[in-house]
Amino acid sequence: MRRVACAERPDWRAKAAGCGFGFHTIDDAPYWDESAYYAFSLREIERDIEAPTEELHAMALDMVERVVANEAWLRRLAIPEPYWDWIAASWRERQPHLYGRLDFAYDGTGPAKLYELNYDTPTSLFEAAFFQWQWLEDQLARNALPAGADQFNSIQESLVEAFGSIARSIARPFRLAAVRASSEDQGTVAYLRDCALQAGIDCELLAMEDIGISADGRYTDLDDGVIGCLFKLYPLEDMFRESFGQHLPRSGLQLIEPPWKAILSNKGILPLLWETHTGHPNLLPAVFDDGGELPRGWTRKPLHSREGANIAMHLANGQQFASDGPYDGPCIRQASHPLPAFDGRYPLIGSWVVGDRACGMGLREDATPITKDSACFVPHAIVEEARGVLMA
């Protein structure tokens, strides 16, 4: 694994505009950055990213079975009691899920270490699945990459296949929703809609703000039609706290991601995984936080936080880092394992699971060891041991 400087495509902004990648720049700061790429060997991908992703995903699903039957664990995860039976029923019925992202620290020399699971509202999807593959093809055509370079990326094909496999179990009408003002979230659901259409599923986009509640507690669209299934790029734990969400258990609404994903999108799953699989090479020691002073060698994270917000890090060498944010409430502590530094940048690997299969990755890098919402997305390529094609 190494970071390689490279020339940008002269027309990449026009290409981004042409495919709807309108959030390549956010708040006048670059989000997409192709002035460099991360190079991996095929062995690093297959052994250190792909295989652990599938193993950890299976372990996570096994934890759902354990948690729904354990009231003490549900309380530790701070899941409101009125939703327990609803979540458990969604698991017993094996309500279909689509995708998730596991975030890893990895430097090419040792086991990738799991930072967290993003299993309810994972983003950075379009740029990982589509735009970085386009970058690879263009750079190969320009001879800007070594001949035979490849990419760990069958995300788009996997999404279309996954939508196709769950098509019959999706209640109609099917809507995909995100907050209106978020260009990134809107871009993500637009991309997912395109994948669903390719799988033959008729569906439409809807802003979260435009979802209504009927007199009998059903969720409705702008035409007052009852929504059968909703893909919502909106945190389920936020819905739990809002009056809007109190109707969920009795509404008959099917959700993608399903209610049982509330267990895996909660950072409290990390101490439970460690307790169950102590010493696993891809896990970091983790405990529920007691609220005291953060000792050296530990990182504090709220059960519910996103984009690196409200993280406190106290490294073994005494260095401390912290990020602001809107999240409070119960926290966990996870053993500190700082991201590696490449040219003064700190990459975090997001490994994608679609339809229970590891199928690709994307890298975001920050100027600090905490990956915040200001982090840039940087493409990757397999440039050594490139035998066979990882892209379907």
Q: What is the pLDDT of residue 14?
A: 96
Q: What average pLDDT does this structure show over 333-347?
A: 97
Half-sphere exposure for 85 (CA within 13 Å, toward CB): 3
Model confidence at 391: pLDDT above 60: no
Q: What average pLDDT does this structure show over 35-61?
A: 98
The model's pLDDT over 228-237, given as tens digits with 9 standing for 90+, comes to 999 999 999 9
Q: What is the pLDDT of residue 28?
A: 86
Q: From CA 240, how far away is CA 301, in angstroms rounded?
A: 20
The model's pLDDT over 131-180, given as tens digits with 9 standing for 90+, comes to 999 999 999 999 999 999 999 999 999 999 999 999 999 999 999 999 99
Q: Give all strands of the β-sheet with 99-105 in edge-to-edge order.
A: 113-118, 99-105, 346-354, 357-366, 376-378
Q: How confident is the model at residue 374 (pLDDT cuts 50, 70, 90)?
A: confident
Q: What is the pLDDT of residue 385?
A: 46
pTM for this structure?
Answer: 0.95
Q: How confident is the model at residue 26 (pLDDT cuts 50, 70, 90)?
A: confident
The single residue listed with the structure tokens 């405990």 is 287
Q: What average pLDDT does this structure show over 216-238?
A: 97
Q: How confident is the model at residue 390 (pLDDT cuts 50, 70, 90)?
A: very low
As a whole number of Å, the end-to-end CA separation of the chain is: 23
153, 132 in Cβ contact below 8 A? yes
* More confident: 23 or 385: 23
Strand partners, 286: 334
Domain ranges of the chain: 2-268+339-384
